[in-house]
Amino acid sequence: MKNVKYTIIMKNKVRGSLTLGVVLGILLLSFLYQAPSIKADVHVDDFQNQDSLSPSHFWKSPRVAQETEENMLNSSIVFNQTAFLPGSIAQINFTLTNDFEYDLENIAITGEIPEGIVLSTGSLEFTQAILAPNQSVCHTFEIEVPEDTEYVNSLDLVFLIDSSGSMSEELSEVKNEVGTLISELNTQVENLRIGFIMFGSTLYGENPYDDPRNVLPFSSNLETIDNFIAQFSASGGDEPWGDSLNYLKEMSWDAGARLAILITDEETNADTKINSNDDSELYNLVEELVEMGIFVSTMMCYGGNDHLEEQLTQIATIGGGTYIELSGESSELIDTAIVMCEEVLAEAGLLISAEFTVVYQEESITEVQTKYILTDNTPPRMILNYMPFYTMIDTDLQLQYKLICETYDSAGVEVVDVFYRFNGEGAYTAAIMNKSHGIFYYNLPILDIGTQVEFYCYAADILGNAETSDIFSFETLEEEITKLEINTVERLTLNEGEYQIFDLEIHPQDNACLFFISTHETLINIVGGDELNISGEYRLDDENYFIWQEFFEVSMNLTVILQSLENAIGDSSNIIVGYAEVQELTQNSTGFDSVEVELNLNDVYLYELNVSSEENSHLHVQIAQEDDYQFYYMGICNSTDLLKSQTFTKISVPISTSGRYYFFVVNLDPQALDVNVKISFGYGEIDDDPYWYVDTGAAMSQNIPSYSTLILGMMSVVTLFMIWQFERRKKKH
């Protein structure tokens, strides 16, 4: 890769103590003017609605920016299949649709392919005089994918972000636009993982080694990434980015392309793993990262000095990456990061680009699209399993078994064949598996008790790469009824019309309840008692949440029968069912008492909060742990509705009425460690910000008294007066 230094725009620095004083005074006065009462230590983001975080929300950012979104062209690059075999022919389509009110004129499309790639048919250039509204044009050509080149289909990207007090604009830009970056890069690579190392913030300590919560391990989940970044605000004074670079060695790098982007405005300091004052030690560290296959790019933000520029330039040169000096505006940060990623992918990727140029009402509009061709010559990877379920035959529930095959392949698997036999007798029977939510399954017929089932699968991707799995076996039982233990959850997937059955023991002293969460409509039947005199039928509709709590004077067994109902899109239902002791917490003047629990895999804790609501009140919950950092599935609900749920460490919801509310937390990560956690509860007047920060569980809203306005105003006037006096004395001398 060429090591190019980009100088975008460097604003003139404000000089002169009088000018600085005026600026400070204006800032203070404008700050005071905003409101008589100000909330402190609360960071509010613009993306409260989780729906706005979906990748489809972000339009594709072109390399040639337009003035307004109205001038965006509807252009794209489309391949005839998702991936290609080395040596095969790839068909490339450049498409343009006129979404404007009037004609597009002077249409020109120019394609670009990597040097050395053979153009089999067609041309890289296309022109057309006019394109009428609602009409489309498609220009097609073919290239030969080289035999002897492997291309990168995956990217691991880590941001090392300075979160000290001077980095507010840059941090906000990352928070607001990371979805754009993910949406853009997902069009170019099959597998994208993003991690973060935060340094300089006082949230968990300014050094990433102070607390593992400063680091987000690699994730592909946009909600998880957003939730992590949103915790941090610009605070603190140290910038130990040398230690942050060192931390890169501890991350689980796996992708074919690996890139770390360091963003800062100060020289490294307060490091504990390296010598902050020894540049050669920094450069040796970068050489170690290069040996791990990691490219390192750097961005210097507004305010950086000459020595920092020298450091970051040298790091990018050694790291095989790019150094960029950002202007005082942070808006180009994410677009710059996208370019850095594309340059790394271009080292091994087969990049196709197209420039679309049109004239609309005498205005020229240009847009550039890029896309990488994916190559695949490896067979799909398979994981086999089985799941018992029940079906209704006449009036009886009959036990059946579902054979399951999960496939992983960059080109995509459309068909999986299953071969099975019973009790080791005869030839294997072949069948085509069904597909739902990306998982292939096949329902066996009803079998006798004690039947030995053997099966294996054959999967081929769209390119013909194929694999046959090993044989998987199990024995059928008289019944497969899962016993639901107290303070645990079970997860399952049911197709339309299928059932699952759970048994549980009810004891008066448990003070426990059942709760259900489902992605689609589900019917719940609960029966029990010595003479089956306890019964009830409940249905999960739009809310997809239900809590059942009954208290009995005697112990008894209950049976829970779940049935997945028909839904409009024909998807299977993903269901969580839990049985948890209800622990009641009493509201105090600042919130609720915090609790400490051990949270193991599939454990669930449920707390009842009796809230006396006030106008604009909110309920907040935070989970903290000492030695590790992981996310938990959590939610807040009332007796009928699931108000909010998310996978994170914090949650906040508005409370409109007084009454009983419930908070639940579940550890669903099979790779997570069993941990001891502290759960803190807050309550008060605050905007609906799910990323509030608290140490003790006290109310999150801390109002600065209105009389402080007078004090701060006096301070600003005194500051201006002192600077004015200083300037007068200077002129006299």
pLDDT for 174 beyond 80: yes
Report pLDDT for 147. 77
Q: Token pair of 235, please?
A: 């605070």
Of the chain, the percentage scoring pLDDT greater than 70 comes to: 75
Q: Which residues of 114-151 are buried (b: 16+ CB within 10 A; e: fewer)?
A: beebeeeeeebebeeeebeeeeebebebebebbeeeeb
C-alpha 622/C-alpha 632 separation (Å) is 11
Report pLDDT for 35. 37
pLDDT confidence bin for 529, thresholds 50/70/90: low
Instruction: For residue 76, give every residue at least 6 positions away whose Cβ sits within 8 Å of its Cβ, in sequence order, or none.
Output: 94, 95, 369
* Mean pLDDT, the chain, whole residue set: 76
DSSP conformation class of 548? E
SS3 of residue 257 by DSSP: strand
Least confident residue range of 65-74, 77-86, 455-464, 586-595 = 65-74
**pLDDT per residue over 204-225, tens digit each?**
888 898 888 889 988 888 888 8
**pLDDT per residue over 273-294, tens digit each?**
889 889 999 999 998 898 888 8
> Do 621 and 680 contact (CB within 8 A), yes or no?
yes
pLDDT for 340 beyond 60: yes
pLDDT confidence bin for 22, thresholds 50/70/90: very low
**pLDDT per residue over 693-721, tens digit each?**
333 333 322 332 333 333 444 454 445 55
Report pLDDT for 478. 74
Please name which of 532, 641, 729 lies closest in space to residue 17, comparing C-alpha atoms: 729
Report pLDDT for 589. 66
> Do 540 and 512 contact (CB within 8 A), yes or no?
no
Q: Average pLDDT in the 415-431 region? A: 96
Q: Average pLDDT in the 161-175 region? A: 85
> Do 123 and 66 contact (CB within 8 A), yes or no?
no
pLDDT confidence bin for 530, thresholds 50/70/90: low
pLDDT confidence bin for 580, thresholds 50/70/90: confident
Please name which of 410, 417, 405, 408 lies closest in space to residue 377, comparing C-alpha atoms: 410
pLDDT confidence bin for 315, thresholds 50/70/90: very high
The dihedral through the CA atoms of 415, 421, 424, 427 has a sign that is: negative
pLDDT for 129 beyond 80: yes
C-alpha 373/C-alpha 17 separation (Å) is 56
pLDDT for 52 beyond 80: no
**pLDDT per residue over 142-160, tens digit each?**
999 887 655 567 889 999 9
The dihedral through the CA atoms of 689, 691, 693, 698 has a sign that is: positive
**pLDDT per residue over 488-513, tens digit each?**
888 777 877 788 888 888 888 888 88
**pLDDT per residue over 610-637, tens digit each?**
887 666 577 888 887 765 556 788 888 8
C-alpha 625/C-alpha 597 separation (Å) is 10
CA 597 to mean position of chain CA atoms: 27
pLDDT confidence bin for 132, thresholds 50/70/90: very high
**pLDDT per residue over 397-406, tens digit each?**
788 898 989 8
**pLDDT per residue over 471-488, tens digit each?**
999 999 877 788 888 888
Report pLDDT for 428. 97
Strands 381-393, 125-131: pairing kind: unpaired
